[in-house]
Amino acid sequence: MNSIVREASPKSPHVHFNAVGGILELKGRSIPENALDFYKPLIEWMGEWVKSSPAKTEFHVHLEYFNTSSSKCLLDLFRKLEPLGDNATVLWHYEADDEDMLEAGEDYEAILSVPFRMVKV
């Protein structure tokens, strides 16, 4: 399975899904004009990743901002991790003064069965 690496743009986050180490990362802003076009390959990759039965997966999400359509795509990504149970963890990074981003992470945590860890930066 190949890793995915995409550089950040003003409207889309940096992506590094490392198929070897099980460290997945989204970082930056997520306001693409068509969120589904951006996230669909990532969601498909995540589905294949889960089928490969990884021993451990850490999904680091450090977004400054994301729009409504991105939030649905993020939910789809997180749901793909649910079959891994405790072998997957979402590390939700948020700035110390960004209550909205902390709350967004807590909202995802409340509706998913994937373990979340809030990481203040």
Kindly state the tokens that stand for 64. 């400054």
59 alpha-carbon distance from chain centroid? 6
Give the domain CATH number at 18. Answer: 3.30.750
Range of the domain at 10: 4-120
- 27-61 pLDDT, tens per residue? 999 999 999 999 999 999 999 999 987 889 999 99
**How many domains does the structure of the chain reveal?**
1
DSSP 38: H
Instruction: Please check whether residue 57 is in contact with residue 85, taking contact to mean a CB–CB distance below 8 angstroms.
Output: no
- Give tens-digit pLDDT for 57-82: 999 999 999 999 999 999 999 999 99
